[in-house]
Amino acid sequence: MKFTTFELNGVEQYGILDEQAGEIINLSLVVERRENHSLPYTLLEGIQQGDAFIFAVERVIKEMNEEKHKFYVNQDLIKWLSPIPNPIRNIMCVGKNYRDHAIEMGSEADIPEHVMIFTKATTSVTGHLSPVELHSEVTNELDYEGELAVVIGKEGKNISKDEALNHVFGYTILNDVTARDLQKRHKQFFIGKSLDSSCPIGPWIVHHSQLKHPNNLDIMTKVNNEVRQNSNTKHFIFSIEEIISTLSKGMTLQPGDIIATGTPAGVGKGYKPPIFLKKNDVIEITIEGIGTLTNKVQ
């Protein structure tokens, strides 16, 4: 199942992609028109319901049968939003989780021994095909970072590695857009990582049942159709299980939490000389089993 949130006629709605038809089943329309549907009003509420939400969606789709087309929405008619447009708290991000990226940003000495965490403000979140602002008034070094993101689906604290994936609702794509000069100037990550529109997420969340091996997925970033990043999550320094376990030590993870797992080598700053984003650049991040997140710099 691929769950998405979108805007249609100015109204926020959510649905599930019918991959065979290439259309979105508008679950918000189901909530509006059908009785006894037991569906929530938003995708975040559904994630918070856990397995009960998945069972409800499966039941509703099965009951639709031939009438399913009545709830279809053409992808060309919607404005894509982040699957969770208003996260419940900051996006949690893992820094330097690929050995080659750690080296391109410094040296062998920069390879971390422990999971390195920073956050992005919730106001930085935007969706697939939405513009990424250049913010030329505050930065001259805007950069891209293609990443696999994990969406927590079950509350937990002090989660063991063996149990970690049982707390995942699904997976999506995240572009950790970064103002490198702000990052360097302020000697921390938050300001340079939190500019408005600097956290595109989407196009959807793939339910964990469809991605059995999240630690072994091809990931590629293109800028203007030129391959910049090309790797696989098997090259993580810290696996998804270890990231979740580490974050949950003494801190409760909640359904709807978003965790970005780090970016591979090939970011703009890693080139010599650096290649930073400019107006009209198109960034495409593709992850195996999920799809492609596309945004244009404006």
Q: What stretch of H or E contains 31?
A: helix 27-33
Domain match, 39 and 152 both: no
Residue 107's pLDDT is 77
Joined tokens for residue 35: 């009785």
Is residue 85 included in any domain, yes or no? no
Q: Domain containing 74: what range?
A: 2-80
This prediction has a pTM of 0.97
What is the SS3 assignment for 75?
helix
Final residue of a structural domain among 19, 47, 80: 80
Domain match, 6 and 154 both: no
Spell out the residues 6+ positions from residue 56 whose beta carbon is closer than 8 angstroms to its own. 37, 38, 39, 49
Is residue 283 included in any domain, yes or no? yes
Domain match, 45 and 156 both: no
Residue 36's pLDDT is 62
Side chain identity at residue 102, one-letter code? A
Domain match, 155 and 249 both: yes
In residues, how long is the chain? 298
The number of angstroms, rounded, from the C-alpha of 264 to the middle of its chain's C-alpha atoms is: 15
What are the pLDDT tens digits along the chain (298 aa)?
999 999 999 999 999 999 999 999 999 999 988 766 789 999 999 999 999 999 999 999 988 877 888 999 999 999 999 999 999 999 999 999 999 999 998 878 889 999 999 999 999 999 999 999 999 999 999 999 999 999 999 999 999 999 999 999 999 999 999 999 999 999 889 999 999 999 999 999 999 999 999 999 999 999 999 999 999 999 999 999 999 999 999 999 999 999 999 999 999 999 999 999 999 999 999 999 999 999 999 9
Domain match, 111 and 201 both: yes
Domain match, 152 and 228 both: yes
Domain match, 40 and 113 both: no
What is the SS3 assignment for 137?
coil
| Counted domains in the chain | 2
Is residue 86 included in any domain, yes or no? no
Nearest to 199 by CA among 285, 123, 280: 123
Domain match, 75 and 95 both: no
Domain match, 245 and 106 both: yes
Final residue of a structural domain among 80, 104, 129: 80
